[in-house]
Chains A and B, each alone.
Chain A
């Protein structure tokens, strides 16, 4: 199971990176979003994948328990990446309005 997840995460990372390297602004954002999904999956796997284990309980019940911490971490990471992606979309929209293009290579005000 971990092996499969590793491949899934790797593919997500690769797809995200590929999209980020495109010149279109929207693809860049989608790429970032895919990468943040990849990382969320990574967090999940890092806690160890177990079926049927309980996360919280008395000490004697906890043999083979699942790690509850990673799920709390994912939640935080999802919320942050969700908020930042929303902000990024707004900034990208405004940039598109001002520059009249979504091609990153054509945004060159900063040069020179």
Chain B
């Protein structure tokens, strides 16, 4: 099925075309808008195709797996591509209306398309080494996007971000080949089969743990998130919504993928560690957020905290919990990107990232305040917004699974919700209420109204996910059923597989 390849091919082709057109900003804008919207529509089509006809596999060069590289689109990866493209559309629209001319001329749009290509590739690939390659494409584009503009802070952030990610990539490729050394294949479905029948089970668990560290580094788990707050505060606001929403979630997606497909034979050990990490990640992330005074740093610490909730679903490891984890990922991406975009508007108005020097935004810009409030309440889990549904599903699944560890983590997650509300109200009180601070003087002609459109789009989706949750819950249950049974994935990739369904 050729459509599986398009979410990678279209951004790649667009990026090349845009790089050649770098002189003409108007054409660049038109081309990237058209291409991003096309990819968005295709990602939705792909989602319906996969839901109707089952997992779609694209074999490059028609090499049968495990030879050659294949792309696999199951419901989970389609959901991730769909949500990633939603954010891409919103982030791009926001960038059009907010970016300064200097940055726009220096390959902003081609780099963004490369980024989309890398991210979509990570979601689609069915080959572990190929996953590493797409990770690198995504990361190299993000290195360039961070330095774009060449400010002092940006270069410092880029040096630190690159150093940590290079180490991460080095360990990742090392781990991939170690796994290759044991099972002799790189195709994920084939690895899953061979691990199932491997005599060297003892060696698989350490490898699984190194994967946890590698993907945890990208996904900003407990102890591995120190690189994130500095980095995300130096990127242009529109792009930072994509970074904050999607990039860390690629790590989370990979965790979900490898820990439901391959490393499922020692769950008492691996998934318990994930569950404990989830609890620590939530708690430490939210405490970090509570101590910050920079609008974007607060939001960034929250990414880490929220990643804890997602992998809590993976750690509990029942179908209901994994479905809840997926629901949480999608909800979180929408809300977090919307919040990053509001930070972009607030920074543009006041010329500062510090919440203390904002003040009184609510009385002058009520629409921004309302959108922020809805997103922030959804993040902390107020009914009837999407965050409430996500947390309810997760906690319900935890109670169904039982056990003292699950109960502890549930208690932690409830406490963290409260602290989330606290740190969100900190932004609200300092930036939206409080004494009126003066606007940045040179930006009087800047119209913020257009910037509200992408935020309203994301917040609207988040309200929809809360009020009309039923179809979403059905969808994620279906997706969870699919990934919790590795044989479905294996059969789709390699119909001749000898693994009997269990």
Count chain A residues whose beta carbon lies closer than 8 angstroms to a beta carbon of B.
Answer: 35
CB-CB contacts of A56-78 with B at 8 A, as 1s and 0s?
00000000000001100100110
Q: How far is the CB of A87 from chain B (nearest CB, A)?
A: 6
Q: How far is the CA of A98 from the CA of B150 in the complex (A)?
A: 9
Which residues of chain B come closer than 8 Å to A35, judged between CB atoms? 166-167, 170
Whether A84 contacts B155 by the Cβ 8 Å rule is no
Q: Within 8 Å CB of B156, what residues of A?
A: 95, 99, 107-110
Across-interface contacts of B151 in A (CB, < 8 A): 98
In angstroms, Cα B353 to Cα A109, docked, is 14
Instruction: Flag the segment in B32-40, B115-123, B173-181, B484-492 that touches A.
Output: B173-181
Do B158 and A91 touch across chains, with their CB atoms under 8 A apart?
yes
Distance from B161 Cβ to chain A, minimum over Cβ atoms (Å): 10
Residues on B with C-beta less than 8 A from A45 are: 181
Q: How far is the CA of A13 from the CA of B14 in the complex (A)?
A: 39
Q: Which residues of B contact A95 (CB under 8 A)?
A: 155-156, 158-159
**Docked complex: A69-111 residues within 8 A CB-CB of B:** 69-70, 73, 76-77, 80-81, 83-84, 87-88, 91-92, 94-95, 98-99, 104, 107-110
**8 A Cβ contacts from B152-195 to A:** 152-153, 155-160, 162-163, 166-167, 169-170, 173-174, 177-178, 180-181, 186
- Please determine whether B180 and A46 come into contact, CB atoms closer than 8 angstroms: yes
Min CB–CB distance B133 → chain A (angstroms)? 7
Complex Cα distance, B129 from A36, in Å, reads: 15
Contact A46 B150 (CB under 8 A): no
Chain B neighbourhood of A39, CB < 8 A: 170, 173-174, 177
On chain B, the residues within 8 Å of A36 by CB distance are: 166, 170
Q: Does B143 contact A (CB under 8 A)?
A: yes
State the main secondary structure of chain A at its contact with B.
helix
Interface size on B, residues (CB 8 A): 33
Residue of B nearest to A42 (CB): B174
Chain A residues in 8 Å Cβ range of B234: 110
Residue of A nearest to B230 (CB): A110
Q: Is the CB of B163 within 8 A of A91?
A: no
Question: A110 and B129 in contact (CB under 8 A), knowing A20-B167, A84-B166, A104-B159?
Answer: no
Which of A73, A87, A95, A104: most chain B Cβ within 10 A? A95
Residues of B within 8 A of A28 (CB): 159, 163
A16 to B34, CA, bound (A): 45
A94-B152 Cα distance, complex, nearest whole Å: 9
Assembled-state Cα–Cα distance A52/B243 (Å): 49
**B439 lies within 8 A of chain A by Cβ:** no
Give B contacts to A, CB under 8 Å: 129, 133, 136, 140, 143-144, 147, 150-153, 155-160, 162-163, 166-167, 169-170, 173-174, 177-178, 180-181, 186, 230, 233-234
Q: Lowest 6 A-B CB distances belong to which pairs?
A: A46-B181, A95-B155, A110-B230, A107-B156, A109-B153, A43-B177
11 A-B contact pairs sorted by A residue (CB < 8 Å): A32-B170, A35-B166, A35-B170, A46-B178, A87-B140, A87-B144, A91-B162, A104-B159, A109-B152, A110-B156, A110-B230
Question: Which residues from chain A sit less than 8 Å from chain B, CB to CB?
Answer: 20, 25, 28, 32, 35-36, 38-39, 42-43, 45-47, 69-70, 73, 76-77, 80-81, 83-84, 87-88, 91-92, 94-95, 98-99, 104, 107-110
